[in-house]
């Protein structure tokens, strides 16, 4: 099977650079195109320049032209940009891997609608380790269903614009589902003042933003006399990028459908 050609959105950003590096090193994947917003300083320069590698692929400011040169778009940008790129990919019949977080209900519905025509992997976290944690949380929630309070604590760098993180929300969703609850109804996103006693059915979220923290997530099951913590810490963005490459390979040959990393990793 020939390599799947990927187009990297937001190519000059922190995650974009990491995705380009991953595409260059991952077997079964080839860098087909890279693009970013008009006016970005790196437009017209080689996509591998910041990694010290010559790729022969220039960063474009024309998303449509870039997407047309690839089999799959990989997008970790912002919701509004991702949805615009998704529409272009749908028009051109290209697969899409979405690692962007912060979508509202309408945005998620638009992704699901696009997946009726093209194949899409949409996941709040592409790292293999994080997705292993999702499975561990399913088991832990079933075992610790009675007598344990659940709290989700996450930390990210100062530049992250959404909170809680998409990964933290997915962790809460996994636990809530196993406990037979709706996260929309039981989530507590902040505590201040005289809050009263904690309600047993709630799932609390605590958010930390500062420095250059790549991403730390802990789910705490607090019982009487013991605490169980399931934690994932990211030392770099490379695990997300490598997971995205696996997702792109997974989509090769598929015509449509909405998938996540649990599908990619065969964890269903």
Q: How many residues does the chain have?
A: 268
Half-sphere exposure of 9 (CA within 13 A, CB side): 27
Q: Is the sign of the CA dihedral 258, 161, 243, 17 positive or negative? A: positive
Q: Is 160 known to be catalytic?
A: yes
Catalytically annotated residue among 160, 194, 199, 232: 160
Residue 110 contacts by C-beta under 8 Å, 6 or more apart in sequence?
Answer: 83, 86
Give the separation between CA 223 and CA 132, rounded to whole angstroms: 24
- What the block records as the tokens of 254 is 């598929």
Give the separation between CA 82 and CA 100, rounded to whole angstroms: 7
Q: 85: closest CA among 106, 57, 109, 64?
A: 64
Catalytically annotated residue among 156, 217, 232, 233: 156
Cα dihedral value 173, 175, 177, 180, nearest 10: -130
Strand partners, 95: 72
Give the separation between CA 51 and CA 70, rounded to whole angstroms: 21
Q: Is 194 known to be catalytic?
A: no
Q: 6: closest CA among 104, 115, 111, 121?
A: 121
Q: List, by residue number, the catalytic residues.
A: 156, 160
């Amino acid at each position: 099977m020939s390599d799947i050609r990927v187009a990297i959105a937001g190519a000059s950003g922190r995650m974009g650079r990491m995705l380009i590096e991953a595409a260059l090193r991952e077997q079964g994947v080839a860098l087909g195109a890279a693009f970013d917003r008009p006016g970005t300083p790196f437009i017209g320069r080689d996509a591998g320049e910041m990694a010290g590698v010559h790729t022969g692929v220039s960063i474009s400011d024309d998303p449509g032209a870039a997407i047309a040169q690839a089999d799959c778009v990989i997008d970790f940008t912002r919701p509004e940009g991702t949805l615009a790129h998704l529409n272009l990919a749908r028009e051109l019949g290209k697969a899409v891997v979405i690692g962007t977080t912060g979508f509202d209900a309408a945005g998620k519905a638009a992704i699901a609608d696009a997946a009726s025509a093209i194949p899409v992997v949409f996941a709040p976290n592409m790292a293999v380790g994080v997705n292993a944690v999702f499975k561990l949380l399913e088991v832990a929630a079933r075992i610790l269903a009675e007598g344990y309070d659940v709290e989700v604590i996450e930390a990210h760098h100062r530049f992250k614009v959404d909170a809680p993180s998409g990964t933290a929300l997915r962790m809460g969703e996994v636990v809530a589902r196993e406990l037979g609850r709706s996260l929309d109804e039981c989530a507590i996103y902040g505590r201040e003042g005289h809050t009263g006693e904690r309600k047993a059915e709630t799932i609390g979220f605590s958010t930390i933003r500062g420095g250059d923290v790549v991403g730390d997530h802990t789910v705490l099951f607090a019982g009487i006399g013991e605490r169980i913590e399931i934690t994932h810490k990211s030392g770099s963005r490379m695990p997300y990028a490598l997971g995205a490459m696996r997702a792109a390979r997974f989509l090769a040959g598929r015509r449509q459908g909405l998938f996540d990393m649990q599908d990619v990793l065969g964890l269903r």
